[in-house]
Structure 1
């Protein structure tokens, strides 16, 4: 693991943050009804994961583009997941913005708004051979995907 600025990490964080900023003004109908019931442990894991992933993605140069090798495919697949994440958001912003729209699958990936970026950052960690980011992404994934699955289940029950 090599300390240094990661422009790839910055690009990923921008791709992650911009749609979420737009989402704050386009929340699904009845979202507040479910947000108040979040499991405290999942919320704590999500918040810790968000902080860790954001910091680690920026402070290790391991994630920057290197010479092409078979290992580079990890970065390609990771970036494709981030592109899918952006496409998921485009579909959401064009929808009626219901809970079902927000917690929908995209290209067969369940709760895509949570799963796609977590998977993308995990593959980025694999590409960078960075166990610190891998661990942070697992923490984030447990919290973030867990919350989304819970909300999806609650919204389906009504």
Structure 2
């Protein structure tokens, strides 16, 4: 387990996060707000690294309405580091006796890691959007394959 460090998580996202089209920007401000205790998910951070900074960070929370765990963030410098962080989340959720671990994603780099860890796909992610800004977004918001959606984008249910 590691310290909650939105700055380190934002830096990992900036260097190694999703690069495909449309996504929620993982800024320090966003992560500080989104992973705050006020969301009621009792978030826990798994940090993998050698002391020179994190190689991977996974954040998971508890769905308090159900008996399940929710993978909220997973990013790292290598697939191996991300797999180690994911294994830490799985172990912690199992230690707590959670009935399931849910990950919501449309992030092509993370999908294979989840499958190798035993996650089962439940079908396509429904996506209905409307652009609310005049800012140019790198992708067509109306195309499903233009999005990189993951965990904390949707774990507020």
- TM-score in terms of structure 2 length: 0.32
TM-score by length of 1: 0.31
Question: RCO higher in 1 or 2 (8 Å CA, sep ≥ 6)?
Answer: 1
Bigger strand share: 2
Point out the structure with the larger helix share: 1
Larger radius of gyration: 1
